[in-house]
Structure formats: structure tokens, C-alpha cells
Amino acid sequence: MSSIIQLLPDHVANQIAAGEVVQRPASAVKELLENAVDAKATDIKLIIKDAGKTLIQVIDNGLGMGVTDARMCFERHATSKIRVAEDLFALHTKGFRGEALASIAAIAHVELKTKQDQEELGTHIIIEGSKFISQDVAVLPKGTSFSIKHLFFNIPARRNFLKSDTVEQRYIIDEFQRVALAHPNIHFTMYHNGGEMFNLPQSNLRQRIVNVFAGKTNEKLVPVQETTEIVTIQGFVSKPEFSKKSRGEQFFFVNDRFIKSGYLHHAIMAAYEGLLKDGSQPSYFLYLDVPPNAIDINIHPTKTEIKFDDEHALYAILRSSIKHSLGQFNVAPVLDFERDSNLDTPYHYKDMEAAVPTIQVDGNFNPFAEEKPSRPFGSNTYKKPETNNWQSLYVGLRQDTETIADQPPMQFETEEFTASLFDESEMEQTVTKTYQLHKKYIVSPIKSGMVIMDQQRAHQRILYEQFLTNITVNQAASQQLLFPLNLYFSYSEMALIAELKSSLVNTGFVFEETHEDHVVISGLPVNVSESEVSIVLEQLLSDLQEEVPENSFCQNDSIAKSMARSLAVKTGTYLTEKEQENLVNGLFACKEPNVSPFQKPTFITMRVEDIDKKFAL
């Protein structure tokens, strides 16, 4: 009987490994940028075309590689980072497994140009699908240039699973920002389709954050600094008033490596307790420095998750340090019952000497002299009031009281009473009473029983159909603003707004100007108030962060859903009887009143027979 188990060929094994290491173009960008950082480069350029599907190129001025290393770097498990297993717990570099370049070379056309500083000539290697095409000597500058062309050319199924260029470009920008934020001492530049997107010179942490996210980032940052035996924390958190609906600007770096940690995120949210609105997320850029032997970074293929030895202590230190920073910079409210602001000494009184009070004594004052009454204002003589006939003051008082008591009662005018158009019995039959239950449901009686309606979902359905009709049929009207609004966004958010601009104009938004980091809005949809603009756009960007529909109808549908979600009345909102009645009538006037725009039921009915069964024995 022939054996069943066989060794896989190297090119098949590399393609399987590539499925774990290289999931999309952004994965290859991450690996190449980290290799450039490990090569001690001070200037790194990233060039992409068609969101990385056609070309990904990283050029650095690092140490470079010799002829042997240039050939060996494409072998599986070939690495310069570790020698023994114990080195896994003393890592100071990014990559260490030696799988990235071998996996990339198995699914793309790869071109490597590298040269060391002490060498006169460099090495030029071309590989296509794990096959060495050529290896030549070339005149090259110091450093390494790594080009990846036609990614997934030999795995069409994986290439078909890639999303649109806009989404893939956003993933690449995310990876670029993570590496750039971790290393402010390196000059990073990014180009897409021939245009420069980022130019980040060497700077400190704060300036690097401002250069990456632009806008009004600088004024919303609060510094965080804490040094303990377990961890050293530095970085910035945002002020509560700058919180957003999305979780885009949240970064953890452990030993200059970007990580994701729901546990540490919970510590930050605990520090912001009582300062944020429901559903809002703070921005943070926190750099944690811990001993390498206190963490394990080899628990996830993408190395974005880390296992800490003492998570509980780290949680407490992180929460307390952020609380301290928010209180120190007067971001968090502080109650001080002992301090009285009225006792504070003004600054201009600091160097002034206290004035000696003077005492004035009246030498002619005689306490035994008879006090003379003062004269009334405007008169030259004073007449002492007569008190001998005081009884005369009360003469006739009883008679006056009796006279007043004998008067007939006073008559007041009343409003004219108008008869009702309907009798009370008819009113009871024609008017349907609605009730709000727990500020969440609206109960309305019907002939067969009663209707219980979810007020938030019902309002979402009403607004959704209104927005969709305005966009597709009526070309929604706009309300002009007296003073235009300036709204600031990050580069990736501005790219998304530029793609959705035509659809947003159809909803009623009027964009007066569009810049790299902000937009100027001079008109709003009729249903949107000025205070809700930022909320609506943030919710829209959050909803479309993963995928932007390519055709206009799907874009309009997504925008209508997002705006309906933002503007719908929320659970816990009190509604008057008139508002309840309008909500009930508006829902049943919709084309699809049974479900919300997100395919959830808007109401249920209970028949009298069903209620009777509940009381049956």
C-alpha cells in the first residue's frame, strides 16, 4: 500500500505560509517597512500604485545586505534576529521568524536592490513566484530597495477577495501610520499613484502625531508620563470634548511595536469614566516600555497581540496615570472644598507693601450731650411729631372695616366657553390614545388588540425613506448657514469624504471648500441641525470604514442608513403625545413599516385573545 502522507513542495508550502503572513497588500507593506526599520534606516520611502495591487516599493538608506544575505533572505526560516529559542524573550527588533520575504516571493514578482556602505557594488535579484530569474551585480546607493509587483498573480482566488482600491489604500495607510508613529526619529515619505500623501520629517512624538493626523490635533492632546519598575508610560490622550464615535485614533505601542489590547483599552475607558458621552471613544497614543522578558509577542501570526506577565498591575498603573494627567491639566473636574478663590492674591499685588491703616478721632465728641434730631432732606426746620393725640389715629377704623365687609363679592371676567365640535362620547371613539413605556416603546390600541412599537427603530425607518427619497427623486433641499462650518478630519477620512462628496451633495450638504485636512460646509440638509453635523459625518465615516459601495445607488443607500441611525430618536428620550402620534402615523405611511433599515422589527401586535390566554387558568 502506497504512503498517503507526503512532503509538500517548497513553492506550495510558501504559498500556504503566504496566506497567513500576506493577507492583503497592507500586510506586505508592514513587513517591508519593519525590515527597513530593523536595518537602522533614517529615511524610508513607500511607493504604491493601485492600492498595492500593481506595485509596492520600499526604499531605505539602511545597512543593506551582502551577496549571500541577499540570496538567503528569501529562504524560509532564514533570519538574523534570533539564534536560540531563548532569544524570543529578548527581542528588540520587529520581525524574527524569517517567513515574510519567502512568502511574498512565492505570490508576487519581486525585485531586490541592496548595497552595503563599505561595498563598491550592490546586488540585484529578480524572483517570480519563488523562482530565481536573475542575480546580477549593479551600481546602487547605500541601502535597500524592495519592489513587489503583481501581488497574488498566481493565486487568482486570493486576488478576487481583495476589496476596492479605496479600502485597500486605507489599510495601507493604517500600517504606514503605525510604523511612522512608533519611530518619530525616522523620516517617512509615502507616494500613491505618483502623488505625495505623507511627508513626515524627523521630530518628537507630539510633532509626529500632529504631522500624521493634521487638523487640530495639537490642541486636543494631553501628555501622559509615568515611570515605575514594571512599565514606563509616555504619550498622549485626547481631551474628552474631542472624543469621536469611531475608534480610529487609538494606538498602543509596546517597545516600539504596535499592538491591540482590549484589556488595556478597558483601563483607558475606566480612566475616562464620567467624562465621555455614551458611545464616544477617546483618542490615545501611548508608548509602553517594558522589559523584553516580561512579554511574549509570539502568540499571534501578525504579532499585534502580546501576552504580559502582570496584566493586573499594568492595568492599574495605566488607569491611574491617565486619571492623573486628566486632572493635572484641568481636563477632569476637581472638587476642592478647602480652597477659596476669593482669597487668592492677584499677581500685581505680589510685591506691594501693605498700607498702614490710619485712625481718625473726633476731639469734640461728647457722649453725654443731648442728641439733636436730624433735619429732613430739603427742609430748614425740623418739626417734632405730635404724640399726645395718638388715639385719633384709630378713630373710624371699625366703621371702615364693617363697610368693606358689607360690600358684595367682586366679579371676575371669565373666558368665553366654546362648545366642542364633537360630543365627549364621539371624541372617545375617534381619538386613539398612545402611551410611552419606559421611554423606549410606544403602545397604541387597535381594534384587535394593541401595537407595541420600538420608537428608535420606527424613527430610523421614517428618516431612512425620507433621505432616500430626497436623494434619488427630489434632490434634497439645503438650509444655508449664516456662518460656514470648518470641520477637521484625518487624511484617510478626507479621502473617504472626497469619494462620497457627490452623494453627500445630493442629501443637502453644500461644500464651499475642500482642503487637505478640513472641509468648509455652508449648507445642511433640512433635517440636520448645525450641532449635529459633526455627529452625522463621524457616524457616516465609521459606518463606511470597512467598505465603500462602488455604485451610486448603494452609496446613497448607505448614506441614508447612516444618517437615519445618527438622527433617529434614541431609547430613553421622552416623547409628548403629539410626537408619539406623529411617529405612529409616520411609520405606517412608510413603504416597508415592518422592519427598520437594518432589517430589525419595528413593532409587534398583541391580540385580545392572546392577552385573554394569559389570564386563563
Label residue 425 by pLDDT band (50, 70, 90). very low
- Range of lowest pLDDT (386-395, 458-467, 472-481, 510-519): 386-395
Runs of H (alpha helix) within 284-350: 311-328
Residue 232 CB burial class (10 angstroms; 0-12, 13-18, ≥19): middle
Q: Which residues contact 128 (CB under 8 A, 6 or more apart)?
A: 109, 110
DSSP helix, strand, coil percent of the chain (3-state; round to 5):
35, 20, 40
C-alpha cell at 441: 416603546
> In DSSP terms, which residues pair with 286 in a beta bridge?
235, 252
Question: 19 pLDDT exceeds 80?
Answer: no
When mean pLDDT is compared over 486-500, 516-530, 598-612, the highest value belongs to: 598-612
Cα 606 to Cα 135, 305, 440, 453, distances in angstroms? 78, 50, 17, 11
For the beta carbon of residue 7, count every other beta carbon within 10 angstroms. 7
Name the 3-class secondary structure at 136.
Answer: strand
Say whether pTM exceeds 0.85.
no
C-alpha cell at 422: 364633537
Which pLDDT does position 330 carry in this prediction? 64
When mean pLDDT is compared over 79-93, 366-380, 603-617, the highest value belongs to: 603-617
Residue range 550-566, pLDDT digits in tens: 666 677 788 888 888 88
The amino acid at residue 400 is D
- Taking the C-alpha atoms of residue 500 and residue 519, their distance in angstroms, rounded to an integer, is 13
Question: 476 pLDDT exceeds 50?
Answer: yes
- Taking the C-alpha atoms of residue 552 and residue 12, their distance in angstroms, rounded to an integer, is 41
Residue range 309-364, pLDDT digits in tens: 788 889 999 999 999 888 887 665 555 555 556 656 666 666 777 778 788 888 78
Which pLDDT does position 18 carry in this prediction? 61
- Taking the C-alpha atoms of residue 497 and residue 31, their distance in angstroms, rounded to an integer, is 29
Q: Please check whether residue 237 is in contact with residue 322, taking contact to mean a CB–CB distance below 8 angstroms.
A: yes
Top pLDDT among 178 and 81 is at 178
Top pLDDT among 382 and 285 is at 285
Q: Which residues contact 561 (CB under 8 A, 6 or more apart)?
A: 464, 543, 597, 598
279 CA to centre of own chain = 9
Which pLDDT does position 186 carry in this prediction? 93
**φ, ψ at 104 (rounded to 5°):** -65, -40
Which pLDDT does position 558 carry in this prediction? 83
- Taking the C-alpha atoms of residue 231 and residue 527, their distance in angstroms, rounded to an integer, is 50
Which pLDDT does position 94 carry in this prediction? 59
Question: 408 pLDDT exceeds 80?
Answer: no
Extended strands (E) in 183-243: 187-192, 195-200, 221-227, 232-238
Which pLDDT does position 111 carry in this prediction? 93
> In DSSP terms, which residues pair with 514 in a beta bridge?
519
The amino acid at residue 534 is S
Label residue 176 by pLDDT band (50, 70, 90). very high
Query: Which 8-state DSSP code applies to residue 471?
Result: I
For the beta carbon of residue 441, count every other beta carbon within 10 angstroms. 18
Q: Please check whether residue 304 is in contact with residue 258, taking contact to mean a CB–CB distance below 8 angstroms.
A: yes
C-alpha cell at 541: 465615516
pLDDT, mean of residues 157-181? 86
When mean pLDDT is compared over 281-285, 346-350, 508-512, the highest value belongs to: 281-285
Question: 334's torsion region: left (phi>0), alpha (psi -120 to 50) or beta?
Answer: beta
What is the DSSP secondary-structure string of 558-571? HHHHHHHHHHSPPT
Q: Please check whether residue 170 is in contact with residue 193, taking contact to mean a CB–CB distance below 8 angstroms.
A: no
Label residue 247 by pLDDT band (50, 70, 90). confident
Question: 218 pLDDT exceeds 70?
Answer: yes
The amino acid at residue 113 is K
Which pLDDT does position 320 carry in this prediction? 92
Which pLDDT does position 341 carry in this prediction? 60
Residue range 378-392, pLDDT digits in tens: 445 555 555 566 666
- Taking the C-alpha atoms of residue 559 and residue 471, their distance in angstroms, rounded to an integer, is 10
Q: Please check whether residue 217 is in contact with residue 210, taking contact to mean a CB–CB distance below 8 angstroms.
A: yes
Which pLDDT does position 188 carry in this prediction? 95
Question: 420 pLDDT exceeds 60?
Answer: no
Label residue 424 by pLDDT band (50, 70, 90). very low
Runs of H (alpha helix) within 22-106: 25-38, 67-72, 100-106
Give, for 462, the enclosing helix (H) or strand (E). Answer: helix 455-469
Chain mean pLDDT for the chain: 80
- Range of lowest pLDDT (19-23, 295-299, 484-488): 295-299
Of 583, 553, 556, nearest in space to 568 by CA: 583
Q: Please check whether residue 55 is in contact with residue 145, taking contact to mean a CB–CB distance below 8 angstroms.
A: no
Residue range 86-102, pLDDT digits in tens: 545 555 565 545 567 88
Which pLDDT does position 306 carry in this prediction? 77
In percent, the amount of the chain with pLDDT more than 90 equals 20
